[in-house]
Amino acid sequence: MKNKLIIAAFLLVFTACKDTKNDEKKLEAKVMEMHEKVMADGERAMQNKMKLDTLILKKDSVKKAFPAMDTSAENKTMRTLSSQILKADDAMSDWMHNYNPDFRKKSHREVMDYLAQQKKIVGQINTAYKSVIQSSNQYLLKYKKK
Amino acid sequence: MKKIIWPVLALLALAACTHKNNDKKLPIYGERQPITKTVDGKTFTDTVYATIPPFSFVNQNRQTISENDLKGKTYVADFFFTSCPSICPTMQRNMLSVFKAYQGKADFKLLSFTIDPRHDTIPILKDYAEKLGAKADQWYFLLGKKEEVYQLAEKNFLVSVSEDNRAPGGYVHQGWLVLVDKKGRVRGAYDGTNEKQVQQLIVDVQLLMDEDENQKT
């Protein structure tokens, strides 16, 4: 009877450990999945940044193509959009740089808290990217007309 | 007589296989333009294929690497960053298999472009390359402006990927290993996280290395 109890206790501990590890893996996979999506958005944002930077540099050609345009004011808007994209991009690369997947010295609770926090940060970066992609897409539309 | 037949048959089979392998041609990706030439009074149409445009980046040994260093060389390029927590470790491990398969071959190179130049400084790239076991004279870890890397990746290296996908963008961080021939033309993109595709890449590298540079395609 005593032996059976010991085996049962071991099995219980083993199953519990397996479950906590699975929970950590699942949450980590979610963070990574989000990160992958944000990276693709980052690429789209960077495409817009390159278009904006080119337009800023080619101010004279823009003036020729759109004589009625206040190119100084437009340049200011473009610089703001470009720096917003850069800010979102820097936030993403800082996150990746600071992310530490070494959980060996952390308890299950600490790992789960850390991953939940990371998920939140990546979510915030995602929101920033989405917003700046939308506003720069919208802004760039006016140059497509010609 | 019977004793002779078997080795002869085996040799014939081997010759047939080798011949078949030599005949296999990899596609050429990117835009192409027909041009009309006149040689010795005869007019014929040739095709000009897209090539990787001129570029200049710095490698882990602070040497400038440009398209001139890759003239006449077959190479594989990928896009990564050292702090990548997701696909890059697998992709770079697979890139290492490609490196090991052709280690020491002077006419074969590997290029890993970082897409995080803010953090991946030269010392960090050097350390990363050394830990991975890459030799600096064959495998270049390249640093340049992020915009330039994205431009090259999207418009040139990943041309075969964008041809197959309708949604624009989002390919740079998908772990592609891009195969480029001696003339700087993209000949294939392989999923760097898929071991089977990486094995195919290793086979295809040899095909390009065996290709005659002056041969018409």
Q: How far is B56 from chain A (nearest CA, A)?
A: 18
Of A39, A47, A97, the CB nearest to B173: A39
Give A 101-140 residues with CB within 8 A of chain B. Answer: 101
**Which of A46, A99, A101 is the closest to B146 by Cβ?**
A46
The letter for the amino acid at B15 is: A
- Interface test with chain A among B128, B145, B173, B176, by most A beta carbons within 10 Å: B173
Q: Over 60: is that where the pLDDT of A40 sits?
A: yes
Query: What mean pLDDT comes out for the span A23-31?
Result: 94
Q: What is the CA radius of gyration of chain A?
A: 24
B71 close contact with A: CB closer than 8 A: no
Q: What is the pLDDT of residue A13?
A: 64
pLDDT confidence bin for B65, thresholds 50/70/90:
very high
B119-152 core/surface letters (b: 16 or more CB in 10 A; e: else): ebeeebbbebbeebebeeebbbbbbbebeebbbb
Handedness of CA A39, A44, A47, A52 (dihedral sign): negative
DSSP code, position B179: E
User: A53: distance to nearest CA of chain B, Å?
Assistant: 10
Average the pLDDT over A75-95 and give the result: 94
pLDDT score of A139? 96
Q: How far is CA B141 from CA B18, B76, B151, B178, in A?
A: 35, 12, 18, 15
pLDDT score at B37: 81
| pLDDT at residue B30, as a whole number | 87
List the single residue in B with minimal CA-CA distance to A100: B85
As a whole-number percent, the residues of chain B with pLDDT over 90 amount to 62
**Are residues A96 and B82 in contact, defined by beta-carbon separation less than 8 angstroms?**
no
What would the pLDDT profile of A86-102 be if each residue is shown by its tens digit? 999 999 999 989 999 88
Predicted pLDDT of residue B31: 85
For A79, A96, A134, A137, the CA distances from A130, given in Å and listed in that order, are 18, 18, 6, 10
> Closest chain B residue to A92 measured between Cα atoms?
B116
SS3 content of chain B, % helix, strand, coil (to 5): 40, 25, 35
Chain A residue with Cα closest to B168: A44
Residue B110 pLDDT > 60: yes
Predicted local confidence at residue B207, as pLDDT: 96
Interface of A with B in 11-30 (CB under 8 A): none
pLDDT for residue A56 is more than 50: yes
Using the Cβ of A6 and the Cβ atoms of chain B, whether some distance falls under 8 Å is answered with no
Q: What's the whole-number mean pLDDT along residues B2-13?
A: 57
Lowest mean pLDDT of A90-99, B96-105, B162-171, name the range: B162-171
What whole-number distance in Å separates Cα of residue B91 and Cα of residue B86? Answer: 10
- Check residue B5 and give its pLDDT: 63
Give residue B67's pLDDT band: very low, low, confident or very high (50, 70, 90): very high
What 8-state DSSP symbol labels residue B154? I
For helices A2-57 and A108-144, what crossing angle results, to 10°?
A: 20
Q: What is the mean pLDDT of residues B140-159?
A: 92
Q: Is A56 on the interface with B (CB under 8 A)?
A: no
Cβ–Cβ gap B173/A99 under 8 Å = no
* pLDDT tens per residue across span A117-143: 999 999 999 999 999 999 999 999 988
On the question of pLDDT at B17 being above 70, the answer is: no
Please state, in angstroms and rounded to a whole number, the distance separating the CA atoms of residues B158 and B50.
Answer: 12
Whether B108 has a pLDDT exceeding 80, the answer reads yes
**pLDDT for the residue numbered B19:** 46
Residue B143's identity, in one-letter code, is L
CA A72 to chain centre: 32
CB atoms within 10 A of CB A98: 11
Instruction: Write the pLDDT tens digit of every residue in A4-24.
Output: 777 777 776 666 666 788 999
What mean pLDDT value characterizes chain B? 87
B83, B86, B147: residue with CB nearest A46: B147
B172 at A interface, C-beta within 8 A? yes
Residues of B with CB below 8 A from A40's CB? 169-170, 173
Q: Residue B78: phi, psi to the nearest 5?
A: -145, 170
> Alpha-carbon distance B61 to B125, whole Å?
9
State both tokens at B37.
């030439």
Mean pLDDT of the residues in chain A? 89
Residue B94: per-residue pLDDT: 95
Specify whether the CB–CB gap between A94 and B83 falls below 8 A. no
Q: What is the crossing angle of helices B88-101 and B195-210, to 10°?
A: 40
Distance CA B98, CA B199 (A): 8
Interface test with A, best of B91, B116, B148 (most A CBs within 10 A): B116
> At CA B171, angle to CA A55 and CA A136, rounded to 5?
30
If DSSP codes are grouped into helix, strand and coil, which group holds residue B136? Answer: coil
Average pLDDT over residues B23-44: 85
Q: Which residues contact A40 (CB under 8 A, 6 or more apart)?
A: B169, B170, B173
> Taking 70 as the threshold, does the pLDDT of residue B141 lie above it?
yes
- Cα–Cα distances (Å) from B150 to A7, A72, A125, B176, in that order, read 58, 28, 20, 14
A32 contact residues in B (CB cutoff 8 A)? 85-86
The predicted model gives B90-108 an average pLDDT of 96
| A46 and B CB contact within 8 Å | yes
